[in-house]
Structure 1
Amino acid sequence: MRERGEAALAAGVAADSPAAGPVVAELVAAWLPTQAGTADPPERDDARARRRLLEQLEAAAEPHIERYWQLMCAATGRPQPPRWDAAGAWTAAALRAHPEPGPGVVLPPAPDAQRALYVYERVAAHVTALVDAVPEEALERPTPCDGWTVRQLIDHMTWENLMITSIARDAPRADQDADHLGADHAAAFRESVAGLLAAFTGSGMLTRTYGPYEAPGALFAQQAAVELLAHGWDLARALGAPTGLAPEVADEVLAAARGIYGAAPRTEGGSFAPERPAPEGAGGADRLAAYLGR
C-alpha cells in the first residue's frame, strides 16, 4: 500500500482529484484482506471500509502511537515498520476526498495536440515574463496559496514542468519537496518551460498515452496550461500585477479546467476551494481563479 501511495504522490496525482479515485480503490482492495479476523471485518470496498481504513491511518499517524511501535520493535528485535510520512498523508487525504467508491476514471476527451501545445506556449510566455520580473526582495512575500511564499509558488510551478517532462521520459520524479530553483529563480523556471516544450515536441508525448487508463499525452499539455495559468494568477496577485494573463487563450484554459476538474470534490485542505463568483466582466484568467476557489 505504501508503495502505491508513494507512486501516486510521485506522479503528481492530487489526492482530491478524479485521478486519485482508482488509486484509492487499489489501496482499499490491498488493505481488505488484512482485516480478516478483526471485529466485524469489512468485506468489500464501501463507505464503511473506507472510514475504518482512514481511522487506522489517522491513529497510526499519532506520534505517541508511532513511538510505541518503534519501542516495541526495538524491544523484540523485529524490523521497524515502514513510515508512511508523505504517502500516508496523501492516502488519508484521498480517503477523505473519496469516502465511497466512485464510477471509476472518466477521462476528458483528448484535446487537439497542436492546439494544446499552442495554448501552453502562450500561457508559459505570459507567466515567464511575470517570473522574470520578480525581484529578489519579493520572494518572501505571501501568496493566495495558503502558506506559500512567492519563491515557493515559483518552485511549485517549476516542479510541475519538471514532473511532466519526467513523465515524457518514462521516469516520473519523486522530488516534489526539493529545491528546484537554486540561486536564480527566473533561470530555473525558464529552463523548466524549455524542457517541457522540448518534451512535448521531441519525445512524441503529445501522441502517446500513459498509465493504465491510457491518458492521452496531449491532456498533460492541457493540464500544464491550467496549472500554470492558475498559479500565474496567484503570482500576479502576490506581486500586485495585472491578473489578466494570456487573454488570447485564457477562455480555452478555463474550459479545459472544467473538463479536467469538474468532478473533483472541493474538500477542506484540498487543491482548491469551492467555486466563487467571478467579478462582472472578468477575463478568462480571473474566471479561472474564481472557478478554482481563489
Structure 2
Amino acid sequence: MTYVVSVETHIPEGAPEMDPLQRAGAVAILESGLDSVEGIEGPDGMEADLHETIVAVYPGGALLRIFVDAPALEFAEEAVRSVVGELLERSELLAEWTVDRCEVQLHPDLAQESLAAADGPDAPPDDPASRKARHAAQAAAGTGGYDQRSPRYLAALGLLLLRGVTAASSGGDRSAAKDFLTEATDVARYVALDRPDAWANFSPTNVALHAVSAANAFGDAGVALETAGPLMRRHIPAPERRAALWVEAARAYSQRGRLADGYQALRIAENCAAQDVRRPAVRELVADMAARDRRRTLPELHHFSRQLGAPA
C-alpha cells in the first residue's frame, strides 16, 4: 500500500534562521539524499520503497511529503523516520536538526485498513481516532495548530501542499490532489500573504489557482471555469499569478471548444505577463487551438500562433 508520510524537521532551538543560500543548500541535501534511497529493509523481511518526495524549506526548518510503499502504516512511518534521521546526521549543515513529526495522514477508512495490517506489542490502537490521540500525546511538546504557527512556516507548508497538488494532478491521482487541496485550503485560512513581496507568496489566491489547474488536468473544464470566475474579479497583485489564471481559463475554454473565448483569455494573459505566454506549454496550447480551427474562422488566433512561433 502507498502511504504519504508527513515529516517536520526544525533547526536547533536558539539557532539563527537560515538565509536564502542556506535554504537552497538544505533543499539540495534533502532532495539528493532522499532520491538516493530506493528501499528499506525492516524486521521479519518487511520492505519499504520510497518512490517520490516533496521538499519545502523555510527559515526555521523543512517540511517533507514522502510517498512510500510499505506493508503497514507504522512500518512506513518508522522507515521514513529512520531515513530522514540518518540523512540529517550525515550532513554537516543539518546534523543538529530535529525530527519533530513523522506520520501518515489518512482518511479513516484507509487508516483502519492499514492498522489491520499491523500487529505485535507495539501495534497502534485499532481505532483511528485513538491512534491520532496517541500521536498527539507522543508529540508532548506539541507543535500546535495552524493558528499557532508563524506565517513563514505556514507559507512553506502551503507551498509543499501545492506541489503535492501539482504532482498528484499530473499523475492522474484525483483523490490525492483533492486531499492536498483540502489541507492547503485549511492552511490558507491562517495566512494573509496576498502580496507580491510576501515570503514564498503562498495565499488563498494561490490555492485557488492550483484548484483551477488541477480541474483542467482532470478534464473538468466546467469546474475549472467555475473556480476561476471569482478570481477573474479579484485583484491579484502579482502579474505572473494573473497571467497563470488567464492561461488556465484559456485551457478550460479550449477543452470545451470555445476557441474564441480561449484566444481572448490568452491575450489577457499576455497583457499581464508577456513572457509567461511564450513558455512551451502555452505555445503548445495555442498551436493545438489553431489546429482545431480547421476552417480558420479565427484568423487572429492563427496570427497569434505564428507570433509565438507555434504555428498549427
TM-score, normalised to structure 2, is 0.31
Larger Rg: 2
TM-score, normalised to structure 1, is 0.32
Between the two structures, name the one with larger relative contact order (CA 8 Å, sep ≥ 6). Answer: 1
